[in-house]
C-alpha cells in the first residue's frame, strides 16, 4: 500500500472550499465556527483635614494628640492579634474556593471541547452545519473521551512528578558537591533527552487521539479505549507512516500559522485583532482548521473502508458535490464538482469546459 501525504492535503483544500465558499454563507460560518470554538476551550492597580483639630478645640496639645493615637494603635494591634487566626482561616478558605472554581471551569471547558470535537467532525463528514443533532447523537462518545482525557492527564502528571523528584534526587547532590564534569555533563544530556522524548510522546498521543481515534469513535460509535485498540492494530502495521503524518501535520500547521499571520498583517492588523477575540477568531480561521481536519480524515481513509469517513472510493474518480451528504445527486450546481483520480490528478470546476467535458487535469504532487 502506498501512503500519500500531499494528495490528502490537496483534497482537504478542495473540500474546504466546497464547504465554506460554494456558496459562501456567513451564517454557516458562525455555526461551524462555534463548534471550532468549543474545541479551542481545552487548548490555554495622606492628606489630612483641618477639621480634625478644630473638633478637639484650640487647647488640644500635641502630646495629648500623640497619646491618643498611641492608645488607638495599641488597641488595634491587640484586636489584630486576636483575629489573626480568623483572617488566616478566611484566606485559606478563599484560596480553596478559587482552586475549586478553577478546577470546575477547567473540567467544564474540557467537557465542552470533547462535545465540540464530535460536532465539528460530524459537520465536516456530512458537509453541513448543525449543532443540536451531533451534540446529542455523539454524547456517549464525547463523555467517554472526556473521562479518558481526565485519566490520561492524571497519569501524565504523575509520571512528570516522578521525573521531577528523580531529577532533584540525582542533580541535587551535584549542585553542592565538587563533582567532575565527566559525570555531570552526561547526566544533563540524559535528563534532557528523557524530557524531550517524554514531551514528544505526549504530543504524539494528543495528535493520534484527535486526528485518528476520534474519527474511529465517530465511525464505529465506540468508546475511547475501543477506538484506541482499533487504531493501535493499524499503527503496528504502519508505524512510520503515522509518525511521518505527524511531522507533515506539524509542518502544515506551521506554514498555516505563518499564512494567517501574514494575512492579519496585510489587513493592517485587523485580522490579527479578530483572531485573538474568542469565538470570532475561530470563525475567521475556519479555512485553516477545516483543512486540517479534512487532511487527517483523508489520510486515515487510505487504510481501508473500516477507517474511511469521507466518500472517496479507492478505485476510479470521485465526483463530489456540495450537498449535505457529500454525494452526487445530479441536482447540485456544477460549480461544486470535483473529481479525484487514482493517478493523483484533480479536476476542479475551473477545469470543466462549457460542453461538460473535463480539460486536461492538473497534476497534484
Inform me whether the pLDDT recorded for 350 exceeds 50: no
Q: What is the pLDDT of residues 138-166, one digit of tens each?
A: 999 999 999 999 999 999 999 998 888 88
The pLDDT mean for the chain works out to 78
Q: Do residues 3 and 32 both lie within one domain?
A: yes
pLDDT at 121: 95
Residue 14 lies in a domain: yes
Q: Do residues 363 and 253 both lie within one domain?
A: yes
Residue 125 lies in a domain: no
Q: Do residues 232 and 257 both lie within one domain?
A: no
Q: Do residues 340 and 302 both lie within one domain?
A: yes
- Cα–Cα distance between 335 and 22 in angstroms, integer? 8
Categorize the per-residue pLDDT at 364 as very low, low, confident or very high, splitting at 50, 70 and 90: very low
Question: Of 61, 87, 116, which residue constitutes the final position of a domain?
Answer: 116
Q: Do residues 210 and 258 both lie within one domain?
A: no
Q: Do residues 154 and 175 both lie within one domain?
A: yes
Inform me whether the pLDDT recorded for 253 exceeds 60: yes
CB 147 within 8 A of CB 223: no
CB 290 within 8 A of CB 20: yes
Question: Of 237, 267, 301, which residue constitutes the final position of a domain?
Answer: 237
Higher-pLDDT residue of 362 and 309 is 309
Q: What is the pLDDT of residues 290-333, one digit of tens each?
A: 999 999 999 999 998 899 998 754 333 334 333 333 333 333 43
Residue 212 lies in a domain: yes
The Cβ of residue 109 has, within 10 Å, a number of other Cβ atoms equal to 16
Positive/negative CA dihedral, 230, 236, 240, 246: positive
- Cα–Cα distance between 115 and 35 in angstroms, integer? 8
Range of the domain at 310: 1-37+247-365
Residue 104 lies in a domain: yes
Count up the domains in the chain and report the number: 3
Q: Do residues 251 and 341 both lie within one domain?
A: yes
Amino acid at each position: 500500500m502506498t501512503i500519500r501525504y500531499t494528495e490528502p492535503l490537496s483534497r482537504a483544500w478542495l473540500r474546504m472550499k466546497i464547504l465554506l465558499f460554494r456558496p459562501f454563507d456567513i451564517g454557516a460560518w458562525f455555526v461551524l465556527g462555534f463548534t471550532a470554538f468549543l474545541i479551542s476551550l481545552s487548548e490555554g492597580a495622606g492628606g489630612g483635614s483641618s477639621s480634625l483639630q478644630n473638633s478637639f478645640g484650640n487647647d488640644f496639645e500635641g502630646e495629648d494628640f500623640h497619646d491618643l493615637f498611641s492608645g488607638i494603635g495599641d488597641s488595634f494591634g491587640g484586636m489584630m492579634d486576636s483575629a489573626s487566626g480568623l483572617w488566616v482561616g478566611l484566606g485559606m478558605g478563599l484560596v480553596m474556593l478559587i482552586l475549586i472554581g478553577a478546577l470546575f471551569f477547567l473540567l467544564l471547558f474540557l467537557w465542552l471541547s470533547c462535545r465540540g470535537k464530535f460536532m465539528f467532525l460530524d459537520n465536516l463528514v456530512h458537509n453541513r452545519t448543525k449543532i443540536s443533532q451531533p451534540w446529542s447523537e455523539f454524547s456517549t462518545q464525547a463523555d467517554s473521551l472526556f473521562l479518558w482525557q481526565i485519566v490520561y492527564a492524571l497519569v501524565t502528571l504523575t509520571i512528570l512528578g516522578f521525573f521531577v523528584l528523580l531529577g532533584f534526587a540525582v542533580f541535587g547532590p551535584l549542585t553542592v558537591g565538587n563533582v567532575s564534569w565527566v559525570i555531570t555533563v552526561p547526566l544533563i544530556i540524559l535528563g534532557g533527552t528523557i524530557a524531550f522524548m517524554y514531551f514528544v510522546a505526549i504530543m504524539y498521543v494528543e495528535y493520534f487521539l484527535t486526528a485518528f481515534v476520534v474519527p474511529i469513535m465517530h465511525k464505529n460509535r465506540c468508546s475511547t479505549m475501543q477506538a484506541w485498540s482499533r487504531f493501535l492494530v493499524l499503527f503496528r502495521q504502519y508505524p512510520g507512516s503515522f509518525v511521518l503524518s505527524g511531522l507533515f501535520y506539524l509542518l502544515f500547521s506551521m506554514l498555516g500559522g505563518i499564512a494567517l499571520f501574514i494575512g492579519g498583517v496585510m489587513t493592517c492588523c485587523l485580522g490579527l485583532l479578530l483572531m485573538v477575540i474568542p469565538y470570532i477568531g475561530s470563525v475567521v480561521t475556519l479555512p485553516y482548521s477545516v483543512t486540517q481536519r479534512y487532511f487527517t480524515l483523508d489520510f486515515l481513509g487510505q487504510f481501508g473502508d473500516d477507517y474511511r469517513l469521507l466518500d472517496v472510493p479507492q478505485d476510479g474518480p470521485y465526483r463530489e458535490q456540495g450537498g449535505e451528504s457529500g454525494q452526487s445527486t445530479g441536482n447540485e450546481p456544477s460549480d461544486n464538482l470535483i473529481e479525484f483520480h487514482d493517478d493523483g490528478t484533480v479536476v476542479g470546476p475551473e477545469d470543466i469546459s462549457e460542453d461538460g467535458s473535463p480539460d486536461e487535469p492538473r497534476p497534484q504532487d
